[in-house]
Structure 1
Amino acid sequence: MKQLSIILCLFFASLFSVSLKAADTSISPATYEALNDVQEYLQQEDYINAQELLDKLQSRLKPSFGLALVHQLYGQLYLAQENTLAAIQQFENALKLDVFAVGQESALATNVAQLYLSIEKTDDAIAALSSRMPKLLGDEKKAQQTQKKQDQDKSLIKPITFATLGMAYHIKGDYNNVITWVPEALAREKKSGNQPKENWLQILALAYYERKQYQSAADTLKQLIAIKPDNEDYWVQRASMFQLLEQPGNTLKVLETAYAADKLTKDQNLMLLVQLLINQGIPERGARILKEQLLAQNIEMTESNWRLLASAWQLSRQRQDAIVALSQASEAMSDGSLLLRAARLAVQDNRHAQATVLIQKALDKGLEDNDSANALLLAGSSHFELQHYADARRYFQRALKQPDSATSAKTWLDYIATVEEYL
């Protein structure tokens, strides 16, 4: 809290200095000197003398600009002593005198609101600004009309005023008012030639999301990405907004851009990209990314991930790559079911020699009864295609002993016998 007090004291010291220079002719030389003395006491942390001099000034000054500055310095004094509520009261006393120019008034009101937020008095923070905002905006418009033409677009109320009010409404969960005030803060910040503040954009994006204004949320997240491209969450959140808008093409575009820029690193985000590529009919690219990330160990080498890789290769008609993926996935399994699946792919690709090797590995690792019967038949037929009739007969004879494959095995054995008669 002391650090906050010091920062605010410095701010109010600056504000006091500006106010005093602007009002040299509206206060007496004696008051001017006394106020400067108070300022020096505060800088020296001589709070006793500062208090005594302020008490004297307050007792003799009528409501005026000078008295407003006295209240302001009282506020600085209390802040330095970490008495926030007393400081707020003095700053509000200064504002009630209604003697400040619009820029000074808005700055002081903003800091009152920030002080209320620092002690978790959100409703008071909102009241400190929202009640004054119509007057401040009206005064700003009048003041701008009296300025030189080239200065009429200059904002007298600083962006932080609107952002502070928006932040207070954010804490309150009033997202409609966040959407009212934070964009104004951002617009004024842009007009000043400054980069938008990250935390302002964050609360605005959240407000749009809560109000189901997903396109506006996506646009705001685009601005966040522009200022913090290394923040992976912003990329994924923007992609999520397009998912909510049922725009899978834009969702994929955001994630692919992030991946190309090396901004996707988290396992779940990489998997989201892979699954989107597969679902959007680009399984080969999904498979290549998944394989690359598995080998780099950025994605966990689980059975389910290897299965997904195999499926992606299958969908892209890259059967040999699918076979490799299934073989690797089988290492994490207690049975040979994935090896049998790989063998079926090898048969579809007319790779019968490879199929026989995979089937034997599957049988060695263990299969359910039905899978075992099918594996024996597949091994026998593959050896037959290779004209390895003795090996084929051996597998069919084993299949003959299993109820699920006995009939088919007998047919095959009879056929082999017929073929061998003509050799």
Structure 2
Amino acid sequence: MASPRYTLIFAALLVLVAPASMRAQTPATPQISEALSAEFGKLRELTEAQSYATALVSIDRLLGVAPADSYDRILLSQVKAQILLSQGKYADSISPFEEVLRLAERPGYLSAAAQTDTLFLLAQLYQQQASESKDLAVQRKMLASAATYLNRWQARTPNPTPAGQLFAASLYYQQSTLVPEKIDSTLLASSRAAAEAGLPLQLKPPASLYVLILATLQQSEKHLESTDILELLVEQNPANSSYWQQLSATYLALAGAAKNEREADRYNLRALLTLERAQARGFLVSPKENFNVVALYLGLRQFDPAIALLEKGLSDGTLENTRRNWELLANSYQQSQRETEAIAALEKAVVRLPEDGQLEFSLAQLLYGRTRVADARRHLGFAVKKGHLDKPGQTRLFLAYTAFELQDYADAAAKAGEAANFDDVKKDDLVRLKKAIDDALRTRVSATSKS
């Protein structure tokens, strides 16, 4: 925790403060007492030895006898606050710093610059206490105190400063989002305005200002404006994977909210290009993110690059070895009128996922479509044996139909009987198949008797 100019007050005091007998006595200059002047040497030794606990005990003892509005009191409060600050005891340092401000109103007690810096420091200290608390009421109170000190600091600082604008934007954002379900739009706008006002104050504004502007836009669901900030952030900080991730997600959100296919395609293309730019730098290369690239190509109806990525990913492990991915590969081949390669893909899939019956079912469908009924029947048998089927009854019914087409009526009847035990089979379908089997069997018997 630091203030722009508030540095080691105690060290400065030890240099400047001399015994009263050695200093010129003028009515305009506040004086410390002889008793306190004698104690400063001891306090110097304690702080140099880092015996802060003992030093604080001595300071509290001296504060106990110091007159309420004396110069002794402001000096002791300054030293106490600085020691607590150096120990990281930020909450404990607030009270002595506030005492310093109270006494600073007396002529000559504290320079105007030091008063201004103390106001800024107190605003920071209160904001930190709000960040560390889990109690909403405490957070609200601490942030209100921080805002009060910030306002007082701003009143004394006519020209905006980079640190001041960054802190103001951060504080207003924290206040505006204190209750996530009830965003304060006025404070949110103030946060954005403060951050934007800080941009021209430096030749190279810090990323934190842009991040705060981005946060306000995201809270307001201004996705298109958010992409402008994110594009700037990835240009300035291309090694930050979070920015790439947010940018691609924002383009996807815009695509999802698009009013027509052309607009959706435009934003999906931007999302795709963002992912590829990130991957070229070594980011967003997990199997999940690789799948997102495939999905975007498919959504844009670009089947050839999708096929290439699916083949590569399923081969080298950069895509997950899952039924979904194998079926996507087969479907992409089909969309490209490459039926033979679609079948080959699923033939690989059933080897790579030997316990997945649903893949066997999908393969059987493709084989059946190519009039390879015997092969379809064989893989349907594997599907039933392996299980893990989306529609186990329909699979058995399909198997019964293939047996029927191959004139294995006994097996067709048996499989139809098994299918009847499942809720996913329509009764009418079973009735029609059973009738066809009975008719075929009567025809066969009749033909046999005639011969």
The answer for the alignment partner of 2:94 in structure 1 is 88
**Equivalent residues of 2:347, 2:363 under 8 A apart:** yes
Establish whether residue 294 from structure 1 lines up as the match of residue 314 from structure 2. yes
Partners in 2 of 1:319 and 1:34 — Cα distance? Answer: 97
Shift of the 169–399 alpha-carbon distance from structure 1 to 2, 3 Å rule, reads: same
**CA deviations over 1:312-356 (Å, ceiling 9, x no partner):** 2222333333222222334443374322333256x4xxxx8xx57
Mapping of 1:251-330 within 5 angstroms? 251-262=268-279, 263-330=283-350
Deviation at 1:206, TM superposition (A): 4.7
TM-score, normalised to structure 2, is 0.62
Deviation at 1:179, TM superposition (A): 4.6
Partners in 2 of 1:321 and 1:27 — Cα distance? Answer: 94
Partners in 2 of 1:40 and 1:182 — Cα distance? Answer: 48
The answer for the alignment partner of 1:338 in structure 2 is 362
Partners in 2 of 1:122 and 1:268 — Cα distance? Answer: 38
Shift of the 301–35 alpha-carbon distance from structure 1 to 2, 3 Å rule, reads: farther
The answer for the alignment partner of 1:229 in structure 2 is 240
**CA deviations over 1:393-412 (Å, ceiling 9, x no partner):** xx8555899585879999xx
- Structure 1, unpaired ranges of 5+: 1-6, 145-152, 378-394, 411-423
Partners in 1 of 2:273 and 2:163 — Cα distance? Answer: 43
What amino acid is the match of 1:215?
A: L
Partners in 1 of 2:39 and 2:228 — Cα distance? Answer: 49
* Residue 210 (structure 1) aligned to one of 219, 240, 243: 219
The answer for the alignment partner of 1:124 in structure 2 is 141
What amino acid is the match of 1:140?
A: T
Partners in 1 of 2:38 and 2:131 — Cα distance? Answer: 31
Partners in 2 of 1:278 and 1:356 — Cα distance? Answer: 30
Establish whether residue 45 from structure 1 lines up as the match of residue 38 from structure 2. no
SS at match of 1:265: coil
TM-score, normalised to structure 1, is 0.66
The answer for the alignment partner of 1:365 in structure 2 is 382
What amino acid is the match of 1:111?
A: Q
SS at match of 2:241: coil
**CA deviations over 1:231-251 (Å, ceiling 9, x no partner):** 364344333442454353224
Number of aligned positions between the proteins: 368
Shift of the 114–183 alpha-carbon distance from structure 1 to 2, 3 Å rule, reads: same
Shift of the 42–129 alpha-carbon distance from structure 1 to 2, 3 Å rule, reads: same
Deviation at 1:89, TM superposition (A): 1.2
**CA deviations over 1:355-408 (Å, ceiling 9, x no partner):** 57854753663674653466579xxxxxxxxxxxxxxxxx85558995858799
What amino acid is the match of 1:303?
A: R
**CA deviations over 1:267-321 (Å, ceiling 9, x no partner):** 4333333233222222332232233222222332222221122112222333333
**Equivalent residues of 1:235, 1:255 under 8 A apart:** no
**Equivalent residues of 2:367, 2:376 under 8 A apart:** yes
SS at match of 1:317: coil
Establish whether residue 59 from structure 1 lines up as the match of residue 66 from structure 2. yes
SS at match of 2:122: helix
